[in-house]
Amino acid sequence: MVNNAPVVVSAPGKVLLAGGYLVLDRAYTGLVFGLDARLHVLAQPISTSTGVTLNEIVVNSPQFQGAVWEYGYRVTEQEGGIQVTQLRVDADLNLNRNPFVETTLSYALSYISSVAKPTITPASITILADNDYYSTPSDLSNSSTTSPRFHVFDTPISKAHKTGLGSSAALVTALTASLLTYYLPSDVIDLSTESGKRKLHNLAQAAHCAAQGKVGSGFDVASAVYGSCLYRRFSPSILSSHTEPGRPEFGAQLKSIVNETDIKWDHEIQKNAVKVPQGMRLVMCDVSHGSQTPGLVKQVLMWRKHNAEEAGEIWDELHEHNTALADELKKAAEKSDQQYDQITEHFRTIRRLIREMSEKSDVPIEPPEQTKLLDACDEIEGVVGGVVPGAGGYDAIAVLIRDDESTISALRKLFSSWRFMSSEQGGEEAGGRVSMLGVREEMEGVRAEQADAYKAWLQY
Ligand SMILES: Nc1ncnc2c1ncn2[C@@H]1O[C@H](COP(=O)(O)OP(=O)(O)O)[C@@H](O)[C@H]1O
Ligand SMILES: C[C@@](O)(CCOP(=O)(O)OP(=O)(O)O)CC(=O)O
């Protein structure tokens, strides 16, 4: 029996410490850490005083201006699932759409109505992002003022400066999880079990790929569900042949894909392979106004295609050190006499190989400005090693450090005077600042939260 009591689910952000690009290919794995910056999604019955029509789901993201999206929904014929339509869209149809929210609603509600026949009652959904997902003015000056739990920005979400922690994957995962928990009884899906998590993973990957309009490796959704892990991707063909929401058979096809009725998903999640030694932590640093690097993946893959042998050698060597890094971290976490020299060596080799890949492909994965910054971090006592995470470029660095005040304040001091010049931005004036985010690694993935802790956002 479903009681539609308020539900809150959170999912972590991510950093791909090792395995960028390689993880797109099933032959390789990615070392991904979940982060303690979470995206929280509240689902609750809608309060009728807002003049809600019969079948309506209202989603809002109260940290941003104008971030309210209202949707109508209806059951379609021929097992098409549930069709979701945005209501009251402005004259300019593109004006205020949120493709990640809209697609996730279509996918999750279609799945829900295909596995059981619950009444999809009107609901209010609230999205809250931990502060480190976006640069706030206090980050930019590296000051240590205490900020409210959920910072309210004076901009629309499209203008917020993202710090690259994977907000859309965490949002899609937490939204999917909260809808599943809100509408389905626990004997149909229970997210605290392995099989429940697996279904959540499959459904969130399907929704995230559809919303993005492309099939990435899925490491971000995987870590949002499972937390830190060594990840091997699923075969893209699993998601290549289903129809669109609202079309005949969509609901039935989605149910079969998510429940693995015909085809088994072949992703691999190794939770046990990933550890951080006690007394160490990851630090994420954001380069404000760093250039966007959307074309990197295309260019790297094109280079690999045309230089298969050369690329293959670099990728195999990189993979060896990526997995060795994970192994050494785990070993250091499991024994008491802690020696980090091997870990430092793997970081350095990984960086050398990434630079080689950058040069050969002519893609700025670890561009010279990032090399300078990472080298300067390496000089600090207590820094074990650092890399450009994920796809690299100018946006961020990730550093493994000894978790003590002296290392952290030495890094802060370094960043406080650092002016970042990317050649793409050109000239002295364009220097961005580097700021240390408050986030660190976290092992846990998706998590059911106590609704009481979100009282200020509950309608009753
Ligand atoms: N707090 C939020 N509230 C509502 N939507 C969000 C929020 N955070 C992210 N999103 C959705 O995710 C999109 C950002 O996704 P994307 O550009 O892929 O960035 P990221 O790399 O952080 O995942 C936003 O445009 C919005 O649609
Ligand atoms: C290149 C990649 O392997 C890693 C990209 O990692 P990022 O962390 O840079 O990704 P975004 O959050 O989308 O910016 C692509 C992939 O695995 O999908």
Q: What is the pLDDT of residue 432?
A: 75
Residue 314 CA to its chain's centroid (Å): 27
Q: Residue 219: enclosing H or E segment and its boundaries?
A: helix 219-226
Q: Which atom of ligand 2 is nearest to the CA of 19?
A: 3
Residue 397, in any domain of the structure: yes
Looking at the structure, tell me whether residues 131 and 175 fall in a common domain.
yes
217 Cβ below 6 A of ligand 2: yes
Would you say residue 88 has pLDDT above 80? no
Looking at the structure, tell me whether residues 255 and 287 fall in a common domain.
no
Confidence of residue 141 (pLDDT cuts 50, 70, 90): very low
Task: Assign residue 324 the CATH number of its domain.
Answer: 3.30.70.890
C-alpha dist (Å) from residue 442 to 32, 82, 282, 319, 382: 11, 35, 10, 23, 20
Q: What is the pLDDT of residue 312?
A: 98
Residue 172, in any domain of the structure: yes
Residue 1, in any domain of the structure: no
Least confident of 80-94, 181-195, 250-264, 336-350: 80-94
Residue 148, in any domain of the structure: yes
Q: What is the pLDDT of residue 48?
A: 64
Query: Percent of the chain beyond pLDDT 70?
Result: 90
Looking at the structure, tell me whether residues 383 and 419 fall in a common domain.
yes
Mutate to test the pocket of ligand 2, among 22, 24, 215, 315 (most ligand atoms within 8 A of CB): 24
Nearest CA to ligand 1 atom 15: 168
Q: What is the pLDDT of residue 424?
A: 55
Q: What is the pLDDT of residue 51?
A: 62
Q: What is the pLDDT of residue 52?
A: 64
Would you say residue 276 has pLDDT above 70? yes
Rounded mean pLDDT, 4-29: 97
Angle at which helices 219-226 and 167-183 cross, to 10°: 50
13 Cβ below 6 A of ligand 2: no
Residue 191, in any domain of the structure: yes
Cβ pair 172, 221 in contact under 8 A: yes
Residue 231, in any domain of the structure: yes
Q: Can you tell me the distance from the alpha carbon of 69 to that of 105, in angstroms, rounded to the nearest whole number?
A: 11
Q: Which atom of ligand 1 is nearest to the CA of 39?
A: 1
Residue 2, in any domain of the structure: no
- Which amino acid is present at 173? T
Task: Assign residue 252 the CATH number of its domain.
Answer: 3.30.230.10
Strands (E), 164-277: 229-232, 268-270
Least confident of 118-122, 294-298, 346-350, 377-381: 294-298
Confidence of residue 177 (pLDDT cuts 50, 70, 90): very high
Looking at the structure, tell me whether residues 157 and 84 fall in a common domain.
yes
Confidence of residue 385 (pLDDT cuts 50, 70, 90): very high
- Domain hosting 56: range is 7-271+443-457
| Eight-class DSSP state of 419 | -
Looking at the structure, tell me whether residues 197 and 81 fall in a common domain.
yes
What is the interface pTM, i.e. ipTM, of the complex? 0.98
C-alpha dist (Å) from residue 204 to 63, 196, 199, 278: 24, 12, 8, 32
Q: For residue range 247-269, list pLDDT tens digits in order.
A: 999 999 999 999 999 999 999 99
Confidence of residue 140 (pLDDT cuts 50, 70, 90): very low
How much distance in Å is there from the Cα of 18 to the middle of ligand 2?
Answer: 11
| Eight-class DSSP state of 20 | T
Q: Which atom of ligand 1 is nearest to the CA of 165?
A: 22
Domains held by the chain: number: 2
Q: Can you tell me the distance from the alpha carbon of 406 to that of 14, in angstroms, rounded to the nearest whole number?
A: 26
Would you say residue 142 has pLDDT above 70? no
Strands (E), 46-190: 56-60, 68-75, 82-86, 123-129
In 236-268, which positions are buried (b, 16+ CB within 10 angstroms) versus exposed (e)? eebbeebeebbbeebbbbbbebbbeeeeebebe
Looking at the structure, tell me whether residues 288 and 398 fall in a common domain.
yes
Q: For residue range 420-456, list pLDDT tens digits in order.
A: 765 554 444 456 789 999 999 999 999 999 999 999 8
Looking at the structure, tell me whether residues 216 and 301 fall in a common domain.
no
- Which amino acid is present at 200? L
Q: What is the pLDDT of residue 54?
A: 78
Specify the pairing of strand 56-60 against strand 123-129.
parallel
Confidence of residue 338 (pLDDT cuts 50, 70, 90): confident
Looking at the structure, tell me whether residues 286 and 139 fall in a common domain.
no
Closest ligand relative to 102 C-alpha:
1
How much distance in Å is there from the Cα of 156 to the middle of ligand 1?
Answer: 12
Q: Rounded to the nearest 5°, which phi and psi values hold at 300?
A: -65, -45
Q: What is the pLDDT of residue 53?
A: 65
Nearest CA to ligand 1 atom 16: 168
Residue 87, in any domain of the structure: yes
Mutate to test the pocket of ligand 1, among 159, 171, 297 (most ligand atoms within 8 A of CB): 171
- DSSP state string for 110-149: HHHHHHS------EEEEEEE-GGGB--HHHHTT------S
How much distance in Å is there from the Cα of 400 to the middle of ligand 1?
Answer: 27
Would you say residue 204 has pLDDT above 80? yes
The residue written with tokens 């697996």 in the block is 198
Confidence of residue 110 (pLDDT cuts 50, 70, 90): very high
Looking at the structure, tell me whether residues 301 and 263 fall in a common domain.
no
- Single pTM value for the model: 0.95
- Which amino acid is present at 120? I
Q: Can you tell me the distance from the alpha carbon of 30 to that of 283, in angstroms, rounded to the nearest whole number?
A: 18
Looking at the structure, tell me whether residues 336 and 230 fall in a common domain.
no
Write down the mean pLDDT value for the chain. 91
Residue 124 CA to its chain's centroid (Å): 23
Least confident of 116-120, 190-194, 334-338: 334-338
**Pocket of ligand 1 from Cβ distances under 6 Å:** 61, 67, 98-100, 127, 129, 157, 162, 166-169, 171
Mutate to test the pocket of ligand 2, among 15, 219, 300 (most ligand atoms within 8 A of CB): 219
Q: What is the pLDDT of residue 429?
A: 42
Closest ligand relative to 160 C-alpha:
1
Confidence of residue 458 (pLDDT cuts 50, 70, 90): confident
164 Cβ below 6 A of ligand 2: yes
Bigger pLDDT: 250 or 92? Answer: 250
Looking at the structure, tell me whether residues 370 and 394 fall in a common domain.
yes
Looking at the structure, tell me whether residues 188 and 225 fall in a common domain.
yes
Query: Percent of the chain beyond pLDDT 90?
Result: 80
Would you say residue 395 has pLDDT above 80? yes
Specify the pairing of strand 7-18 against strand 447-449.
antiparallel
